[in-house]
Structure 1
Amino acid sequence: MTRRSAGQALRARVERVAGPLLRSVPRDHWESDDAFRRRRRVTGAVAVAGASLLGVSLSTPPGSPRFYGLTLGVAGTWVVGGLASGPLHLGRMFGRGDRLRRPVLTPVVSGAGAFGAFYAAALVARRIPVLERAIGSVLRYADQGSAPLVLTTTLANGVAEEVFFRGALYAAAGAERPVLVSTAVYGLATVATRNPALVLASVPMGLLFAQQRRITGGIQAPVLTHVVWSSLMLRYLPPLFASRLAEERSPTPG
Structure 2
Amino acid sequence: MIDPVAEVRSFVRAALVTPVPRDHTESDAAFRRRRVVAVVTLVVGSVVLTLALRIPPGDPLFYAATVGLAAIWTIGAFVSGPLHLGRARTRSGGDARPLVQSLALGAILLAVFLLGGFVIAHVPPLRDPVTHLLDHARLGSLTLVAAITAVNGIAEELYFRGALYSAVGRRHAVLVTAVVYALTTVGSGIPLLVLAAALLGVLTGLQRRVTGGILGPMVTHLTWSLGMLLLLPLVLSSGS
Fold-level similarity (TM above 0.5): yes
Indicate whether 1:185 and 2:186 are aligned.
no
Partner residue in 2 for 1:215: 210
Larger-gyration structure (1/2) = 1
Deviation at 1:32, TM superposition (A): 0.8
**Per-residue deviation, residues 179-228 of structure 1 (Å, max 9, x unmatched):** 00111110111112222121111111110010000110000001001111
Indicate whether 1:227 and 2:240 are aligned.
no
Aligned-partner Cα distance in 2 for 1:66–1:17? 43
Structure 2 portions without partners, runs of 5+: none
What RMSD in Å do the two structures reach over aligned CA positions?
A: 2.0
Q: What letter corresponds to residue 50 of structure 2 in structure 1? A: G
Partner residue in 1 for 2:45: 50
Contact 2:121 2:238 in 1 (8 A): no
Aligned-partner Cα distance in 1 for 2:236–2:48? 27
Partner residue in 2 for 1:204: 199
Deviation at 1:148, TM superposition (A): 1.2
Alignment map for 1:1-254 (pairs within 5 Å): 13-21=7-15, 22-242=17-237
SS of 1:237's equivalent in the other structure is: helix
Q: What letter corresponds to residue 215 of structure 1 in structure 2? A: V
SS of 1:176's equivalent in the other structure is: coil
Q: What letter corresponds to residue 148 of structure 2 in structure 1? A: T
Contact 2:57 2:132 in 1 (8 A): no
Aligned-partner Cα distance in 2 for 1:13–1:107? 16
Deviation at 1:17, TM superposition (A): 4.6
Query: Using a 3 Å threshold, how does the CA distance of structure 1 residues 172 and 127 change in structure 2: closer, same or farther?
Result: same
Deviation at 1:63, TM superposition (A): 2.6
Deviation at 1:11, TM superposition (A): 6.0
Q: What letter corresponds to residue 39 of structure 2 in structure 1? A: G
Deviation at 1:14, TM superposition (A): 4.9
Aligned-partner Cα distance in 2 for 1:14–1:230? 24
**Per-residue deviation, residues 31-81 of structure 1 (Å, max 9, x unmatched):** 111111111111101111101001111111223221100000111111111
Query: Using a 3 Å threshold, how does the CA distance of structure 1 residues 118 and 10 change in structure 2: closer, same or farther?
Result: closer
Query: Using a 3 Å threshold, how does the CA distance of structure 1 residues 124 and 244 change in structure 2: closer, same or farther?
Result: closer
Give the fraction of aligned pairs with identical amino acids, expressed as a percent. 42
Contact 1:165 1:186 in 2 (8 A): yes
Query: Using a 3 Å threshold, how does the CA distance of structure 1 residues 82 and 238 change in structure 2: closer, same or farther?
Result: same
Q: What letter corresponds to residue 178 of structure 1 in structure 2? A: A
Aligned-partner Cα distance in 1 for 2:239–2:7? 46
Q: What letter corresponds to residue 102 of structure 2 in structure 1? A: P
Q: What letter corresponds to residue 37 of structure 1 in structure 2? A: R
Deviation at 1:16, TM superposition (A): 4.6
Deviation at 1:24, TM superposition (A): 0.6
